[in-house]
Structure 1
Amino acid sequence: MGVSGAGKTTVGLAAAASSGVQFLDADDLHGEANVEKMRSGIPLTDDDRAPWLDAVATSLRDDAPCIMACSALRRAYRDRLREDAPHTAFVLLRASRQLLAERLAGRSGHYMTERLLDSQLATLDDPEDDEVVIEVDAARSVESLAEEIAAVFAGPGLG
């Protein structure tokens, strides 16, 4: 989980390959209206996200075991995902605004651009003490992050 540019897809693909499970990207579950809003630089509302969160929760439940890249920015979103997929483990890829902006500026072909970075950072709810969210430094190498995430995935009850 994390904001756009944190490396969710890149690290998730590597972690899934390392752990031998399928990789899914929650971005693929957005409806066309959501994609067009984001492509236009318009942040999504909670109402926009509701059907997407339902689809993500269903996928997490029905496609398990898997590693999924998903922003899961708000506590309420994470809680919604846990309702249908209670064994979901969250790993927050945390990065500085500068690193995120550099990554987004160098990325092409994706509807999430640097224009939405500040709204994503403002939306991110830091994990609360009663949540099981592992935080990692997204500036680390993809290999070391994938190894750590694959180890989390292999933990009791997750794999």
Structure 2
Amino acid sequence: MMPCALIVMGVSGSGKSTIGEALAERLGRTFEDGDRFHPPANVAKMSAGHALTDRDRWPWLQAIADEIDRVCQAGGSVVIACSALKRAYREVLVHGRDDVRIVFLDGTQDLVAGRLAARKGHFMPPGLLASQFQTLEPPAGNENPVTVSIDAPIEAIVDDIVRQLRLGAEGDSASRKRP
């Protein structure tokens, strides 16, 4: 069974929005950028070059979790781009649901730095990238993540995500068929 929500996570510049939009289109789902759930104070803080604290993040993460619950309860499906750098953040977003999956966009700091340097008009300044990598806790196996390398073309990354999701869905249905 395919999850009702996919959370595309990674550091700023890893391609969350780009990959998330392409994945949502491929799967026929709604796409939401987690950045739009940030309160104005968070955006102002990041725009000024200051990293968010956990206290800043909790209301933002809860707003995204509420949106996931709303969409799933309505029978919809969504792909949400959200940094979700720490396990504690992902626990707020998933909160025990088995119909929500994490998609981790994995890449080196040098690769991401190059992408950020070329990006224009985003509120996250490249100078905060080091703090993102310091904060990052890659998802553990018991979080059942889909992990993909971002060192590939967009289409190949989306292909890899869809392949892993389908393998997981086939495994789920096979385990349900066993006596």
TM-score norm. by structure 1 comes to: 0.92
| C-alpha distance in 2 between matches for 1:84 and 1:32 | 29
SS at match of 1:109: coil
**Counterpart selection for 1:63 from 40, 64, 71:** 71
Match of 2:24 in 1: 16
| C-alpha distance in 2 between matches for 1:152 and 1:51 | 31
Match of 1:42 in 2: 50
Counterpart AA for 2:67? S
For the pair 1:112 / 2:105, whether they are aligned, the reply is no
Counterpart AA for 2:80? M
Counterpart AA for 2:33? D
Say if 2:146 and 2:161, in contact at 8 Å, map to a contact too: no
The aligned length equals: 157
Say if 2:11 and 2:136, in contact at 8 Å, map to a contact too: yes
How far residue 152 of structure 1 moved from its aligned partner, in angstroms, is: 4.6
SS at match of 1:130: helix
Match of 1:32 in 2: 40
**Counterpart selection for 1:82 from 94, 97, 104:** 94
SS at match of 1:24: strand
Q: Which has the larger radius of gyration?
A: 2
Say if 2:19 and 2:157, in contact at 8 Å, map to a contact too: yes
> Which deviates more from structure 2 when the two are superposed, residues 79-88 or residues 113-122?
79-88
Encode CA deviations 1:1-44: one digit per residue, 9 max, x unaligned: 00000001101111111111111110110011000111111000
Counterpart AA for 1:142? I
TM-score norm. by structure 2 comes to: 0.82
Counterpart AA for 2:92? R
How far residue 150 of structure 1 moved from its aligned partner, in angstroms, is: 3.4
| C-alpha distance in 1 between matches for 2:78 and 2:153 | 22
Say if 1:16 and 1:150, in contact at 8 Å, map to a contact too: no
| C-alpha distance in 2 between matches for 1:10 and 1:142 | 8
RMSD: 1.6
| C-alpha distance in 2 between matches for 1:42 and 1:94 | 24
Encode CA deviations 1:133-155: one digit per residue, 9 max, x unaligned: 12111111100111232345555
Unaligned 5+ segments in structure 2 are 1-8, 173-179
Unaligned 5+ segments in structure 1 are none
Match of 1:147 in 2: 159
Say if 2:148 and 2:161, in contact at 8 Å, map to a contact too: no
| C-alpha distance in 2 between matches for 1:33 and 1:67 | 25
Counterpart AA for 2:123? Y
SS at match of 2:89: helix
SS at match of 2:95: helix
